[in-house]
Amino acid sequence: MLILLLFLPNILAYQIENENIVCFIHNNNLLENITLEFKNFENNKSTFYITLPQNVKILNISSNYPIDGYSAVFQDGTSNIAVAFEKPLPINKTVSLTLTCLVKDCIWKGYDYYQFITNFPIIGKNVKIKLYLPPGAVIVYPNLITPEGYEITGDGKHQIIVWNLKPKSEFIMTTSLRFAYAPYTPITNKEKKDNNIIIFLILLSGSIAFVAYERFKRIKINKEKNQIYDNYLEIKGQLAEKNKQISDLEDKCRFLEEEVGKLKNIIEEKDKVICEMSKKVEEYLKEIKLLGKEKEDLINNITELKAKIEKLKDENEKLKNIIDKYKDSEKGILLNFLTDDEKKIIKLIKEHKYITQKDIVSLTRMSKSKVSRIVSELEERGIVKKEKVGRINMLTLTDEADNLI
């Protein structure tokens, strides 16, 4: 008979792929071996929790992932187990965990048979349960085995009951059967009926008590869990805020250290500049002293030069007078050497500054050949020169003659 008792809390951080349960009935006790293969989907998760709806003794736990330790609380027919790993579980990788224990209070002796009843936690996607009877023991009344969907097999020494399950959700599976050591005497139909009633009442009362306890415990655990989670979120938020403040302060410290380093470099560069400027100031002071001395020498030289200039001015004035007298005399000499016709032509050229031979012929009424001869002589003597103005040859006085006449 299958009685659905209670769904275990779903652990959202894990996904249990395979669950293998192997049990041996021995000396009225149950030797149980539960192997779980699960994957973790939460960061920094290093603790695994499981509740066994059994009265467990002598617990041993092993895993393919290093275990730091485990704890178990046994109370009112249940065993709450917490397994702590040495480091956070890997993300999306299969971890194997094996629990080996001794289960008490699951076998009762009847008149000529043994009654076996216990609860198994069904929490995997694929579940296989193998129950080994003691050597020489056989199933009594297979129709009384619960739950259904089992297979009876053997290994030559033990009779084995096997369940292969693919549950859609987690639940508690209550398993019940009778076995006896061969040979045995079958009981009467009345005894069967009485025993079935007793078993049903036992299962019903145990189930009701277990359901009530589990519900009460779940409410209490969920309340405490929610409170702890709220406290965790609050502390996590405060910690994040403090970490942000620390990060901001560290950034400010790094910025200030960089600024201090820059200022040190600037101060060192300024010190170097000041040192160089001090050296240059000393050099400039020395140069100023030298320039002051040179200035005094220049002033003395200027005074001497001024005296010499005054002297030269006097001498220059005397020379000017001599030159003027020379020019006057030279002018008189030049005019004394000119004929009247030459003087007349020179006068016309002086008045017009530029004039053609044709105009001279017209103004002086001299012959063309005579004017040409006189102009040629004056050119040879450096008194007159020809300059081309456009396409016309013009006559003008030389600079020297212009100054003298």
pLDDT at 200: 76
How would you classify the pairing of strands 392-397 and 384-389?
A: antiparallel
pLDDT score, position 84: 94
> Does residue 9 carry a pLDDT above 80?
no
pLDDT tens for residues 233-266? 889 888 888 898 998 898 888 899 889 998 989 9
Please report the DSSP string for 39-98 in residue order: EE-STT--EEEEEESS-EEEEEEEESS-EEEEEEEEETTEEEEEEEESSPPPBT-EEEEE
Averaged pLDDT for residues 338-366: 89
Mean pLDDT score across all residues of the chain: 85
Q: What fold, for 14-187?
A: Immunoglobulin-like (2.60.40)
DSSP percent split of the chain into helix, strand, coil, nearest 5: 45, 30, 20
Q: If pLDDT is split at 50, 70 and 90, which confidence band does 335 have?
A: low
Q: What is the pLDDT of residue 156?
A: 87
Q: What is the 3-state secondary structure (H, E, C) of 227-255?
A: HHHHHHHHHHHHHHHHHHHHHHHHHHHHH
Average pLDDT over residues 58-84: 90
Q: Is residue 153 predicted with pLDDT exceeding 90? A: yes
Please report which confidence band the pLDDT of residue 3 belongs to, taking 50, 70 and 90 as the band edges. very low
Q: What percent of the chain has pLDDT above 70?
A: 90
- Give the span between the Cα atoms of 83 and 72, in whole angstroms: 9
pLDDT at 5: 38
State yes or no: pLDDT of 124 exceeds 80. yes
Which tokens in the block code for residue 228?
């702890």
pLDDT greater than 50 at residue 4: no
> Residue 123 has what pLDDT?
92
CATH of 338-404, one of 3.30.70.2740, 1.10.10.10, 1.10.620.20, 3.65.10.10: 1.10.10.10
Q: What are phi and psi of 286, to 5 degrees?
A: -65, -45
For residue 133, the model assigns a pLDDT of 94
Q: Identify the pLDDT of residue 315.
A: 81
Q: How far apart are CA 75 and CA 147, in angstroms?
A: 26
* pLDDT value of residue 187: 54
Inter-residue contact 144 to 117 (CB < 8 Å)? no
Query: Do 160 and 130 touch, CB atoms closer than 8 A?
Result: yes
Residue 186: predicted pLDDT: 53
- pLDDT tops 50 at residue 10: no
CA–CA gap between residue 113 and residue 116 (Å, rounded): 10
Mean of the pLDDT values across residues 334-343? 79
- Provide the pLDDT confidence category of residue 216 given band limits of 50, 70 and 90: confident
State the pLDDT at residue 329. 57
d(CA 375, CA 384): 7
Sorted by where each begins, the domain ranges of the chain are 14-187, 338-404
Quickly state the pLDDT bin for 211 (edges 50, 70, 90).
confident
Model confidence, pTM: 0.45
Q: In this model, does residue 189 exceed pLDDT 70? A: no
Give CA–CA dist 273/257, Å, rounded.
24
Lowest mean pLDDT among 119-128, 227-236, 281-290, 295-304: 227-236
- Under the banding of pLDDT at 50, 70 and 90, the label for residue 12 is low
